[in-house]
Structure 1
């Protein structure tokens, strides 16, 4: 039996300013500081003593009406009982632990962090005990009720991401529980609700409010002002007064946490209006299933409990979501293979020091083995379920929505070394969430748009953004090709002209943008990953703050632009997702370092296809065809050279 999340995830006594005192110091003489230490030592006598001490703490705190520390004490007791349940197999310990977590999660006076961890452990323990319905109740409490409150808009973005990172795979584990009880639509909904939480909050501030403005102009104006202040970190000078005073907006000097409370208050008032009861509520499955209107979407759920593909289709007479169990896949193996795969491609991409012949063979084999494993265990079962596992007269579209560390691997390149790969069978696109794909499809493409080309061969010395980076001679070739192809529909910013202020000022006037420069991936702070412009970085956070509702296509011809952070894989904190969030319908990104040599040729073939098509609507197929041409070149047949390119969007 695998170890459940209750044993592997951070416990409520972890670091955090909002946490209550630990059970060992909750003000009860019955709970000496040795209780957590006894539990961690794990011997039979130690576990018994820890449970007895913590029961005494809970009994003592029960007599203190409204004491928030009781939630933490119950959570500590639940964890001690889980440890004893795992060690000794007593069914009554599992039942008592579940009750302790349930009661802790329901304590309104306690911190959201403690309650969320308790609900998380409640769900994990239910799955270990074989009680999937109980597990689902715990996970729904965590995802639907507590997670949105943990990532409060009043906290800085970095703090919200740090909070979310404390509950790894929460959404995937919740979806696994829903799958186990046969609620496939519920599994899809929980995955959507529990992933990309920060991006979803930002999208709420940009939702179309036309109808609200037409029917309730004053309330809409108040809400607009609060949303604008939240996006910029607070009201600007001379901002209008708060609720109850003249003017609809935030008060000058109002803190982010106050703006967050105001947002919730105004949202509650809007939802009390007729026809606005569901304003800004998370999408229902009935709304999410529309994502498959243009072709099937394969959501790959990677959980410690089980791994499955949930395939969404919009075919008359066919269930809207179908289950493909991935029995040979575990979350631990996906993590390990992703780590080893990315290490191999990064080492092979490094020119100094260049790997030796024996190391190249070993690393290339690791890449080939991983892609073959992805084919056998994940992509071929999905394609077979869709009847797409053999070449046909046409190459149909397929959207992938991977979770966890799987999002760092190129599913479109999966396949045996000498056999057909996914790219030979379908045109693949990726989406961080279903709602982001639905949003990207919401407007038609513009014919023959203007393109902004931004290229930096080497950043200015001493800009402090990226450290020393080698020169990219291919950038000049790339921009010259764009200028020749687009003619008077092309605007360029190269090298010294490619400065942050100028690029941001030009973006709204150009539905298409092409970046050719260094991309820098931050493993520790994903929001700091950036494109290296001439005078400094254009980071993920800076891109996401732009509101470019008329944008269509962003081609990020730079390294690592679609690579997220392992710890926050389900938040999709990377440049490609940020450009999509800013408003771009189609984004071309990369999972690892690009080879500067063929990059201009891929871009040339891509844009030639779009010029023939007349719009960005066929971006996925244009990229697919350009990569296939690159594969046919003898020097670029290996996946290292072509599999990095990915398409996000419709």
Structure 2
């Protein structure tokens, strides 16, 4: 039925384009609406009808409030079509077709002054697969008090769906007949498990107090859980307009900030320019450096072709200034955050939630960097990132004390891995952290190189609340659960980490490259190792937006842990937690920035990539 109605709607739309008859336009809208809201027909057909319904209204009747109804159906059906009855790789490929829909919907909601709808759609229509991964690992302590058997079945299905979701898709033409039969059997079991999961959710939501179990939280339920003196800011970047929504502790309603000076075109240009500079300075991995030596050589000549004249702005300085003037400064002024040239202990917290291509830009470092004066975000607040506002709220709401028997720091350095460059700085880095930890009476353990296997590392992650991984990393944008940390003996992937019960996980410092960078095709799906570690249970993660320099990483890590130890609760004894980790990273990167300066792209690209995720 949905398919036939969509075909009829397409016919009326084509006639309307050629004749301009209002009757044809009305009929096309009616058919698309009926198809989208029908309970019959495949969700994919209904989703396509909903998208066409919204587009037709946007183009020919942009003032119609029915646009909101059309987008409501589109976001709901996008969520429905990205279900657990598909392997993870399939889900991501499907999302490419609907990428940006939530941003477009939010843009329309802002036009109609429906900030509540914009926030709801940005939360529900982004990070869909990441949210499903976290839902499979939801703490069930409260539910167990009502029905222990229901929880046991829930956990069993969760593990089964996690395993099935990580299956990679191979070309059927390369399979034997037995392999094809086996794959089809697995698919049937997966679909059956997903349907049982849906039935189980219905039962759970019928339990008093669990009516909204695993559903996105309404915006008004998020506000009470915001951290004190903190602001969660989601920035929507769309072709038609750009806006920010601010949720602040103690504020009853979201604050809407239009951003007329910023645009999607600017954002894409900044992204392209930044990518070019990273290539020029060869930020490929932690072990690769470019010697900028005035004696000469090909590498030097390649870099100095882009050398600026005296007092001329560099490319990266221009990007950061543009982000500051058109985006970040207007937000800070509207929120009323004052410049605080003090220590990071006095600065307010901001959790940034960028959307679209803005996810690839370092908004935490936006500012003007000149020899005469410097003004930047770091002068106003301590920045963190979060995949969604709900992900942050979940961390705040479920904060609990760390048990003393697991409180501590496990660390490993992997200076060599098959197919990767040598990174000797990892050894220096872990040695310095271990010495610092033991001198301060902290429970700590370290393994270097071949002394540890991925399996041993996993065991240690269960025994220690915090981990520090100094190594190479490999990100798989197609199958995020295949993203991995490279060891001397093998590798440790996210899927394997997710299998463990990391109920006491607190802080993960990923001293590797590009652990906080997502997929360009799906910028709103948080396809990176940092988000994966949050899904695994860690409350906070230190990651990187691009390659870090091996010679700088040890100093950043040592300053980071020194700050944490200096601000540790003296009553905790040998206990350790990362509650001050965002401020610690702020402090450590400021130290590196002071040492390197801001007058060259080389120095800016060295300290900017360090980022903090989570609470």
Aligned equivalent of 1:222, options 153, 156, 159? 153
In the alignment, structure 1 residue 301 sits paired with structure 2 residue 257: no
Deviations 1:143-195 (A, max 9, x none): 13x12221110100010111112101122222222222222122212111111
**Aligned residue number for residue 198 of structure 1:** 129
Residues 213 and 631 of structure 1: is their aligned pair in 2 closer, same or farther, counting only changes over 3 Å? same
Q: Is the 8 A contact 2:403 2:504 kept in 1?
A: no
In the alignment, structure 1 residue 390 sits paired with structure 2 residue 339: yes
Aligned equivalent of 2:399, options 438, 443, 467? 443
Residues 254 and 100 of structure 1: is their aligned pair in 2 closer, same or farther, counting only changes over 3 Å? closer
Bigger mean CA offset, 384-393 vs 359-368 = 359-368
In the alignment, structure 1 residue 455 sits paired with structure 2 residue 413: yes
Aligned equivalent of 1:432, options 378, 384, 387? 387
Deviations 1:615-646 (A, max 9, x none): 31111111001111111114676321111011
Distance 2:20 2:500 in 1: 54
Partner SS for 2:367? coil
Residues 284 and 454 of structure 1: is their aligned pair in 2 closer, same or farther, counting only changes over 3 Å? same
Higher relative contact order (CA 8 A, sep 6+): 2
Residues 367 and 522 of structure 1: is their aligned pair in 2 closer, same or farther, counting only changes over 3 Å? farther
Q: Is the 8 A contact 1:372 1:417 kept in 2?
A: yes
Q: Is the 8 A contact 2:277 2:316 kept in 1?
A: yes
In the alignment, structure 1 residue 166 sits paired with structure 2 residue 121: no
Distance 2:125 2:510 in 1: 28
Partner SS for 2:446? strand
**Aligned residue number for residue 607 of structure 2:** 642
Distance 2:306 2:445 in 1: 44
**Aligned residue number for residue 213 of structure 2:** 279
Deviations 1:293-334 (A, max 9, x none): 42111110112332100111133xx55211110112222332
Distance 1:388 1:89 in 2: 52
Q: Is the 8 A contact 1:107 1:115 kept in 2?
A: yes
Partner SS for 1:616? coil
Q: Is the 8 A contact 1:396 1:427 kept in 2?
A: yes
**Aligned residue number for residue 255 of structure 1:** 189
CA RMSD of aligned residues (A): 2.7
- Give the C-alpha shift of residue 262 in structure 1: 0.4
Residues 215 and 634 of structure 1: is their aligned pair in 2 closer, same or farther, counting only changes over 3 Å? closer
**Aligned residue number for residue 173 of structure 2:** none
- Give the C-alpha shift of residue 547 in structure 1: 4.1
- Give the C-alpha shift of residue 364 in structure 1: 8.1
In the alignment, structure 1 residue 413 sits paired with structure 2 residue 346: no
**Aligned residue number for residue 377 of structure 2:** 422
Which ranges of structure 1 fall in alignment gaps of 5 or more residues?
1-66, 235-250, 461-467
In the alignment, structure 1 residue 632 sits paired with structure 2 residue 597: no
Which ranges of structure 2 fall in alignment gaps of 5 or more residues?
166-184, 284-288, 291-297, 569-576
- Give the C-alpha shift of residue 376 in structure 1: 1.2
**Aligned residue number for residue 376 of structure 1:** 325
Aligned equivalent of 1:135, options 67, 85, 89? 67
- Give the C-alpha shift of residue 142 in structure 1: 1.7
- Give the C-alpha shift of residue 103 in structure 1: 2.5
Partner SS for 2:415? coil
- Mapping for residues 473-622 of structure 1, pairs under 5 Å: 473-487=424-438, 489-522=443-476, 527-614=481-568, 615-622=577-584
Bigger mean CA offset, 183-192 vs 564-573 = 183-192
- If the length of structure 1 is used for normalisation, what is the TM-score? 0.80
State how many pairs are aligned: 555
Deviations 1:341-375 (A, max 9, x none): 12322431344773330135599832221111111
Residues 478 and 80 of structure 1: is their aligned pair in 2 closer, same or farther, counting only changes over 3 Å? farther
Q: Is the 8 A contact 2:9 2:32 kept in 1?
A: yes
Distance 1:331 1:544 in 2: 35
In the alignment, structure 1 residue 148 sits paired with structure 2 residue 79: yes
**Aligned residue number for residue 45 of structure 1:** none
- Give the C-alpha shift of residue 455 in structure 1: 1.2
